[in-house]
Structure 1
């Protein structure tokens, strides 16, 4: 009888954490079994309470955020809800409750208590990382809605922050699991830095390259770039820490390592896009044997071409005046000053470009003769289209050269063309 009274006194001293244990002892269950059943019972109660509190907290917090987002003028809070920030924050309350009451549940099993407490601390680190990731993703989505930041590599900045966060979280978790201080863990980590650098080489290169690309403003989202080494020719649609994605004009996607933008050469067409026109630089190859001096009759005939009428009248007067004043023998065309069909054609090109509606008159317009080649004399057109859109640019350039190729016979000029099988049919 005395033993039973002593047992009741001891049981009451343990308080709430032995409430199940006391009942089991009263039912003559062994102490060992009572301790385990007491621990399991309290654990189930704790898990149930944590689950209910987590459910209620999550519902209340999400509802509050949704209501606030519906009346707010900014879309930042909408993005917070979309990226599950309230849901992740709601897990903090049940986690704190679990950490608070874990010693009560596992009071009779200190070994279990230590393991569970470390597990909860590691989960707390993971939860913090989830919250940080959700907030950073929200910030990323919000910054992309700002016009001045749409073409900036926001993804790279967010990934850099997340890498630092995950590294810090990973080291903290290892320090908790091993029971060492964070400083001691970092000291040991420094000894393995060579291996870490080798393993994370691409990530480190991408990180450095991403910073350089951003600081030097080398590439923006939306830029048209040409990267022959990787077969990329299209618009940049994504820039992140490791890769740059380019959507080619055939709608395929080319992925380029970010550090390749620093180590290799590529072409960025942003300068053309931001300018007032897109360059037209193409040549007609004139057969050399079709080039000749123009006789007076031929010059009079070309005066019927309205774009060069005034030019020919002025040039004819100047040439005749020079030849007369210098007693030039014009029995040979080579003597004195003369007009050539290719020279008049070059002047016609210049006049035609200056009146073409698709050519930007405020930028350079030039028709120039390049060095002779085995394919003839290149007559290059150098100008800028007023419309930079690809389809319209090609139409303008084709329209110009359609006209000039059709105009060549009026100047008794021929365009060079390699002979084909039909070229020899008349000789068979």
Structure 2
């Protein structure tokens, strides 16, 4: 047969080259057909099937990004298995072609892993039991591991070495690697601790006075936690700083529906005295002595005032009183000071948002300051220049 082809002027090498081109074209056509069928039909069928299931996890694991990454595997897989036929008789070309396709396949597999991890992360933010855990740092760490594994396998494929040999070589430089990835490693450990102990999540209000942080957590990443302060500035802090230092998380307060108020006013001790009979009758007429255990015919005006404040707070519509949850109410004396006798109001407001909480607190102390003169008491106030000018 070869003699006949030579007699009619056809070169055997050219014929072999033509056959290889035809084989390559056939392989590309088959891969293209499978690619089109997958893109136009299979992807739509998978999306419809996942949409009909009750569970949401398959919607995230088989999302459009994952399916698109899967379709990119078609060409390298088909070409890798059929290149021995295409490059038959050309071992050197076959060697470099398979190396190139193998690296291509590794890159696509890494992208597929990253897409799957993104889907898992989105699913975890939607899942009731996991959405309160800051898993973004863990997801980023898994992505970094997937990329590192892909790079090691890719290098081993190019150098035709066992991946274990490359890992052994990297082990010798472990100290350098730990120094380079110090923040990443510390961030991973801190992220796991924050997640497992439910210490922090996106949307929490936290305060760290030592770092001038007082705001809402916007993003929890592998190496940074981003907080938007109430003055609209953005502060970033490494996660491991939240573990090594102390911070205050106000989330449990917001979820409880009650926020503590603990403020005091200073009473001028010169105005503390026994009530007169006329005052006692007036207090009884106003109902200010109802429910108070009497110690005699007369009472100290400060005791009557404290009893009045307690009844006023108990009947306030925006104050939470629940002893079972330690949301009790108390009017107590503190240690006397040169600036007077502090009387502390300790209670819990049903407002947890900043502005309503401050307004309600101000209204209560407005009333307290205004009513105190009805009991013959005065609030201590340091003398001002006007007061000194009245002294003759």
Task: Bin the TM-score by the shorter chain.
Answer: 0.7 to 0.9
Q: Distance in 2 between matches of 1:147 and 1:162?
A: 24
Residue 359 of structure 1 pairs with residue 323 of structure 2: no
1:140-172 Cα shifts (integer Å, max 9, x gaps):
222322222221223233333323322222211
Give 5+ residue unaligned stretches, structure 1: 10-22, 320-338
- 2:190 partner SS: helix
Q: Which residue of 1 aligns with 2:79?
A: 98
Hey, what does 2:378 align to over in structure 1? 414
Shift of 1:174: 1.5
Quick check: 1:118 aligned with 2:99? Answer: yes
- C-alpha distance in 1 between matches for 2:234 and 2:40: 41
Deviation at 1:375, TM superposition (A): 3.0
Q: Quote the Cα distance in structure 2 between the aligned partners of 1:214 and 1:164.
A: 19
Q: Distance in 1 between matches of 2:277 and 2:360?
A: 35
SS in 2 for 1:85: helix
Say if 2:271 and 2:376, in contact at 8 Å, map to a contact too.
yes
Shift, 1:256, TM fit: 2.4
Does the alignment pair 1:398 with 2:378? Answer: no
Matched, 1:368 2:332: yes
CA distance in 2, matches of 1:370, 1:41: 96
Residue number among 165, 177, 188 corresponding to 1:207 in the alignment: 188
| Aligned position for 1:131 | 112
Q: Which protein has the larger Cα radius of gyration, Structure 1 or Structure 2?
A: 1
TM-score (norm 2): 0.85
Structure 1 residues 358 and 70 mapped into 2: Cα distance closer, same or farther (>3 Å)? closer
1:260 aligns with 2:241: yes
Q: How does 1:239-250 map to 2 (within 5 A)?
A: 239-250=220-231
* Cα distance in 2, alignment partners of residues 291 and 247 from structure 1: 48
Separation of aligned partners in 2, 1:226 and 1:421: 39
Shift of 1:257: 1.4
1:148–1:392 Cα change, 3 Å: farther
Residues 1:340 and 2:270 aligned together: no
1:269 and 2:250 matched? yes
Q: Give the unaligned 5+ runs of structure 2.
A: none
- Aligned twin of 1:225: 206
Q: Residue in 2 aligned with 1:288?
A: 269
For 2:43 and 2:384, how far apart are their aligned partners in 1?
Answer: 76
Bigger shift: residues 279-288 or 224-233: 224-233
**Structure 1: distance between partners of 2:378 and 2:245:** 43
- What aligned pairs does 1:287-326 form with structure 2 within 5 A after superposition? 287-308=268-289, 311=292, 314-317=294-297
Q: How many residues align?
A: 388
Distance in 2 (alpha carbons) for counterparts of 1:168 and 1:295:
87
Structure 2 CA distance for partners of 1:40 and 1:197, relative to 1, 3 Å: farther
State the Cα distance separating 1:108 from its structure 2 match: 5.4
| Matching residue of 2:3 | 5
- SS of residue matched to 2:275: coil
- Kept in 1, the 8 Å contact 2:135–2:195? The answer is no
Q: Secondary structure at the match of 2:235?
A: strand
1:166 to 147, 150, 157: 147
Against the structure 1 CA distance between its residues 36 and 198, is the aligned structure 2 distance closer, same or farther, given a 3 Å change threshold?
A: farther
Cα distance, 1:110 vs structure 2: 3.6
SS of residue matched to 2:319: coil
2: distance between equivalents of 1:142 and 1:81? 11
Deviations 1:257-309 (A, max 9, x none): 11111111101223423446321101112233333343444444444432225
Residue 137 of structure 1, CA deviation: 1.6
SS at match of 1:259: helix
Partner-residue secondary structure (3-state), 2:320: coil
CA RMSD between the two structures: 3.4
Q: Name the residue aligned to 1:331.
A: none
1:80–1:86: 8 Å Cα contact kept in structure 2?
no
